[in-house]
Amino acid sequence: MREQGHSFELDWWLLFIVMIICVVGLLEIYSSTHNSPLHGMQWKQLIWIGIGFAGMLVLSRIDYGALLDQSLLLYLLSLGALAVALVVGNKHFGARRWIEIWGVDLQVSELVKLIIIIVLARYFSEVRTERLTLADLVKIGLLVGVPAGLILLQPDLGTAMVLVPVAIAGAFLAGIDWKHAAGVLALGAVVAVAGWNGHVLKPYQKQRLATFLNPENSPRGAGYQILQSEIAVGSGGFWGTGFSKGSQNQLGFVPVRYSDFILAALAEEQGFFGVLITLLLYLALLLRLIDNAQKAKDRAGMYLVIGVAAIFAFQVLVNAGMVIGYMPVTGIPLPFMSYGGSSTIFGFLALGLVMNVRTKRFVN
């Protein structure tokens, strides 16, 4: 094996794909906002991308082994931060998700996503059996459940849900008894029903889920966003209305068109063709991540990369699904495209983890 010392190697292909996605996002943010009081947003997003990129470079140089060693500390820190956010956090849009750091509101839960990836990678890598035992599943459930519960209290159903696929993907790779898998599924169903009937879900969350099932029922109520999003997407046709020429986008009918619904804005202006390119970019991103996982030096590295891939894949699925009315409105952003500081920084930090793993693959 080649000895590369402390040098590190960036995955240029991965970066290239991500940068194209970022540029597409910046253009669409510009198109969506330049005619409105929000104009100039693309520059803010560019700054977030810059910060994220720097964070990625830093994280890619920290030995992921060290991170895994500190996973317990990181985990407790994240629980503490979530608790602090709940008690003293700044309230936006009715949810306590933000902690102010250096005058900038940061969404704590985005950081928690990163830590959960690390914590679960550590846990899965220590499993020595062919299949996960029931005890393993319970522990994993607790590891994910506690922070997820705290995030749910904010309340932020979407981000809480994002933690779950990390565990599922990891469990799949670690090996799971199909009976256990069925059991987990059944338990999930029970929790979902109990959550619906009990007081776990906030009324607005129930409302969103209910409208998701039947959006036409309340055109100006909660189903409005889904319907408007579908209208924008559907009216785009194959080639779209053209850059910054989408009436629904430009006249503001598309809800949060620069962030959560940016794919709807893109779908209207760039049509199915633009959506095809964009989704293929995400496919390339995900496959490249899996490729990195396959080439990881060890299982821990693989779990880290797959955790990142699981979160991105889940976010793409839920966000794009939401835009076309197949998923409820949960406020999950599209990675690297939706405007947003916390989510953009998370995306790049997650990439940093991946680069880190990649760098290490030739070590030893």
Partner 1 sequence: MANWIGSDQKLPQGRLILVSYVVVLEVILLLIGFWKLQIIQSGHFADLAEKNRIRTIPIIAPRGKMLDRYGRVIVDNYPSFSILLLRDDPAQIKRDLPQITSGLDITAQDLEQQLTEARDEPKFQPIVVKPEASDADLAFVESHRADLPELELMMVQRRKYPPDDFLAHVIGYVGEVSPEQLAQSGGDRYKPGDIVGKAGLERQYNDILTGTDGMRRIIVNSVGKPVRTLDDTEPIPGKPIQLTIDLDMQRVVEEEMAGKVGAMIAMNPQNGEILAMVSRPAFDPNDFAVRISRKEWVDLNDNPNKPLLNRAIQAQLAPGSVFKILESVAMLESGTPPPDFHVFCPGYGMFYGQIRHDWEPKGHGEVDLHKAIVHSCDIFFYNVGMRLGIDKLSYYASSLGLGKLTGIDLPSEEPGLVPSEDWEERVYHHKWYPGSTISLAIGQGPIEVTPIQLVRSISGIAMGGVFYQPHLLKDFSPVKTVHFPISEKTVEEVTDGMYGVVNEDGGTGHLLGYPILAQAKLQNVQFCGKTGTAQTISAKGLLRLTASERHSFGYNTWFVGFAPKQNPEIAIVVLVQDTHLEAGGVAAPLAARFIKAYFEKKYGQPIQELEAMASPAKSGSQSQASDAAPAARNQ
The one among 29, 99, 160, 293 contacting partner 1 by CB under 8 A: 293
Cis before 155? omega within 30: yes
Tell me the Ramachandran region of residue 242: left when phi exceeds 0, alpha when psi lies from -120 to 50, beta otherwise. left
Other CB atoms within 10 Å distance of the CB of residue 129: 9
| Max Cα distance, the chain (Å) | 64
- The answer to whether 274 touches 261, Cβ cutoff 8 Å, is no
Contact between 336 and partner 1 (CB under 8 A)? no
Could you write out the DSSP letters of every residue in 57-99?
A: HHHHHS-HHHHHHTHHHHHHHHHHHHHHHHHHPEEETTEEEEE
Q: In angstroms, what is the minimal distance from the CB of 275 to partner 1? A: 5
Q: In angstroms, what is the minimal distance from the CB of 356 to partner 1? A: 15
The one among 206, 235, 244, 362 contacting partner 1 by CB under 8 A: 235
Contact between 69 and partner 1 (CB under 8 A)? yes
Nearer to partner 1, 85 or 232 (CB): 232
Strand order in the sheet with 95-101: 90-92, 95-101, 104-107
Q: At what angle do helices 71-88 and 108-125 cross, to 10 degrees?
A: 150
Judged by CB under 8 A, the stretch of 20-28, 95-103, 179-187, 323-331 that binds partner 1 is 323-331
Nearer to partner 1, 150 or 316 (CB): 316
Nearer to partner 1, 30 or 312 (CB): 312
β 90-92/95-101 pair status: antiparallel
- The answer to whether 87 touches 136, Cβ cutoff 8 Å, is no
- The answer to whether 273 touches 308, Cβ cutoff 8 Å, is no
Nearer to partner 1, 106 or 266 (CB): 266
Nearer to partner 1, 108 or 300 (CB): 300
Q: In angstroms, what is the minimal distance from the CB of 13 to partner 1? A: 15
Q: In angstroms, what is the minimal distance from the CB of 145 to partner 1? A: 22
- The answer to whether 26 touches 265, Cβ cutoff 8 Å, is no
Contact between 272 and partner 1 (CB under 8 A)? yes
Contact between 287 and partner 1 (CB under 8 A)? yes
Q: In angstroms, what is the minimal distance from the CB of 293 to partner 1? A: 6
Which SS3 state, helix, strand or coil, does residue 210 take? helix
Nearer to partner 1, 105 or 298 (CB): 298
The one among 172, 200, 205, 311 contacting partner 1 by CB under 8 A: 172
d(CA 318, CA 165): 12
The one among 38, 173, 181, 210 contacting partner 1 by CB under 8 A: 173
Question: By the criterion CB under 8 A, which residues form the site for partner 1?
Answer: 65, 68-69, 122, 125-126, 169, 172-173, 175, 219-220, 228, 230-238, 247-248, 251-253, 267, 271-272, 275-276, 279-280, 282-283, 286-287, 290, 293-294, 296-300, 302, 306, 309, 313, 316-317, 320-321, 324-326, 364
